[in-house]
Amino acid sequence: MKHTAVIFDREKNYGGKLAGYLNANSGFMFNVLAFYDEVRFRDFCLKERPELLLITENDMDKADDISFAETIFLSETATRTEGKSCFVYKYQSGERIEKEILGFLSASEHISRIVNRKNKMKVISVYSPYPRSDSSRKVIEHSRKLAMRNRTLYISLEPHPALEYLVDKNFSDDMTDLIYHMKSNSSNMGMILSKMTVHVGELDVLPSFRGQEDLIEIPFEDWKELLDHIEKETDYEYVVVDLSDAVRGLYGLLNASDRIITVSEDNDISHYRYLRYEESLKNAGMEDVMKKTCVHWEDMYNEPA
């Protein structure tokens, strides 16, 4: 079901262009209408009662007597929050505006049910019990294919990541900052996640850790809490987690996954390591991990059982 959002901006071209961008995205769960005439704007809102209002901060008093589930102010200065009010910087890319809108809405008690996906989020973990050559590049390539069909987030948990090189993006934060925000102010996680991710085609990517020492300090409980926040406060349908042996609680994350991709390498040593890995899982009482394990990249695109 599509709900209704309205934009009020006296710049005629701006509102129309933003509405066109948001309406072109089938994942944006609002029909967006733009108004630059105050009388028509008010008449429509009083009659139709749209759920979401996007209005320039200079005109924020023009709808004080109209009820909306949520209001976001379009700012000429910066994206920010002031108390319970949310401001999105209007002079940036449509892609970034959309991300920040969804980030704010995901944290909204009034409207998060509208923007969140209807089905349970699926976690796909990629792990192999032996060194993988150039594996992260392949994981990202296949994650991008998955993202063409479903809203997908990629998380790298490698000890010495080359993520910025692989996606040709610069991150201003790293995963340590995200964990810190989660532990200190988890109520804004939807907005924080939105601001920290970058787009690689249709795929969203979170920053990695800067080094191994930061990664190995994070316990399984924090990973579980992060995945719970992503499921509750975003609209991602899939999260692809690129795992490594440096992750504390590795088997717990594997067990919490809906599907595990373990692509075998065709040599005797890799085969022997895999058999030892299976034996270790059995000794830990985690035979179910093997039942969720697939050995072909194409299995990433098939619905987990």
Domain boundaries, the chain: 3-115, 122-301
Q: What's the whole-number average pLDDT of the chain? A: 85
Strand partners, 204: 153, 199
Lowest mean pLDDT across 41-50, 106-115, 145-154, 222-231: 106-115
Q: Is the pLDDT of residue 134 over 70?
A: no
Homologous superfamily of 3-115 = Ntrc-like two-domain protein. (3.40.50.10850)
Q: Which amino acid is at 276?
A: R
Render pLDDT for 148-179 as a digit per residue (tens, 0 to 9).
888 899 999 988 777 777 888 888 888 888 89
User: What is the DSSP track for 143-160?
Assistant: HHHHHTTS-EEEEE--SS
Of these ranges, 10-24, 113-127, 255-269, the one predicted with the greatest mean pLDDT is 10-24
CB 233 within 8 A of CB 99: no
Question: pTM of the full predicted structure?
Answer: 0.65
Q: Per-residue pLDDT for 56 more than 90?
A: yes
Amino acid at 187: S
Which range in 52-56, 61-65, 150-154 is most confidently predicted, on average pLDDT? 52-56
Q: Do domains 3-115 and 122-301 have the same CATH topology?
A: yes
Is the CATH number 3.40.1160.10 carried by domain 122-301? no
pLDDT band at 23, cuts 50/70/90?
confident
